[in-house]
Amino acid sequence: MHIILLSRRRGATRSLTLDSRLLLAGALALLVLAVAAGGALGTRWAVPAASPEVVDATATEDRALADGARREADAKRRMNAFAAHIAELQARLTRLDALGERLTVLAKLDPGEFDFSQPVGQGGPEVPLADAGFTMPPLRVTLDRLMTRIESREQQLQALEQLLADRRLDEAAQLAGWPVRKGYVSSPFGARSDPLSGRASVHKGIDFAARAGSDVVAVAAGVVTWAGRRNGYGNLVEISHADGYVSLYAHNQSNRVRVGDLVRRGQAIAEVGRSGRSTGYHVHFEVSKNGQVVDPAAYIARAEAVE
């Protein structure tokens, strides 16, 4: 191939001779470079398309993992619910044990017969169930049934506890027993010769001779309505009880309670003395109902039945 070059300044000409084979080789080289560059760019920027089989397998695996996670979370929730249910049952059983022990004391039952710290005695030979179709109920159903039984027993025992407590309160409010722990009756209720003047008189109470300074005790629960000196009685304690009853303890060496104090049966309220009109150390014990003096002997005799 001949190429002629012309010069504008001098009008001269030049000619070049090119080999056609060299031109063809250069063109082929440029074509190869263009194809290689295009392939490289396509490999870098194009997103390869996955086959349908690979896509289905990946989706199935993802669903399986999600299902497994949901099942695990559901199992944990169920276990937590069962644990909370069992904890509530244990708390209720602990309460029933404490309530049973309290009832044993209130009812004065034999502690050995109702020992709530020991398992309940059960046993016997095992006999297989004839019905082969029997299946155990689900755990949640069994726990719910047990909870219902426990709630029923709690209500029944609470009602029984209230009845026993009311009975104890009634008994505590009833006058019973001696006003001293140790002593003897030195003068009964009713007509007698006055120990100081010798004249016929009426004795409104019962005298209990006892050691000087020993305890004077309340014969029933009540409220102190008098604590001080009174003419003829010396140091006196008066206690108001239920149903209009009032008990009186006189000739005390000293009083241990004040007006308004709540006292229980058997509580020491004074010390045995000889204050007031008295010949020696003793307690003058009176009982009145609705303002009328009554013979304390009937209430003293009640002590054995109450105890």
* 130 within domain boundaries: no
Cβ partners under 8 Å of residue 219, min gap 6: 175, 176, 177, 178, 179, 247, 265, 285, 299, 300
* Report for 100-109, 122-131, 156-165, 269-278: range of highest mean pLDDT: 269-278
Same domain, 146 and 218: no
Q: What is the pLDDT of residues 27-47, one digit of tens each?
A: 566 665 665 555 555 555 444
Give the chain's domain count.
Answer: 3
Same domain, 300 and 218: yes
Q: Which residue has the higher pLDDT, 286 or 15?
A: 286
**Pairing outcome for strands 268-272 and 292-294:** unpaired
Same domain, 295 and 190: yes
* 79 within domain boundaries: yes
Crossing angle, helix 52-106 and helix 139-173, to 10 degrees?
20
Give the closest residue to 180 by CA, choosing from 288, 253, 277, 289. Answer: 253
Rg of the chain over CA atoms, in angstroms? Answer: 54
Q: Is the pLDDT of residue 217 over 80?
A: yes
Same domain, 149 and 200: no
pLDDT of residue 288: 94
Give the closest residue to 282 by CA, choosing from 232, 189, 211. Answer: 211
* 257 within domain boundaries: yes
Q: Which residue has the higher pLDDT, 122 or 168?
A: 122
Same domain, 143 and 204: no
Q: What share of the chain is helix, strand, coil (3-state, %, to 5)?
A: 40, 25, 35
What is the Cα–Cα distance from 276 to 229, expressed in whole angstroms? 8
* 45 within domain boundaries: no
Q: Which token pair is 244?
A: 């209009």
Same domain, 293 and 207: yes
* 94 within domain boundaries: yes
pLDDT of residue 45: 47
* 178 within domain boundaries: no
Same domain, 301 and 233: yes
Q: Cα angle at 282 between 281 and 283, to 5 degrees?
A: 145
Same domain, 196 and 301: yes
Same domain, 279 and 258: yes
Same domain, 111 and 213: no
Cβ partners under 8 Å of residue 14, min gap 6: 4, 5, 7
Residue pair 194/207 in contact (Cβ under 8 Å)? The answer is no
* 49 within domain boundaries: no
Q: Which residue has the higher pLDDT, 17 or 291?
A: 291
pLDDT of residue 8: 57
Same domain, 68 and 33: no
Structural domain including 275 reads 184-306
Average pLDDT value over all residues in the chain: 77
Residue pair 227/271 in contact (Cβ under 8 Å)? The answer is no
* 85 within domain boundaries: yes
Which phi and psi (to 5°) does residue 18 adopt? Answer: -110, 140
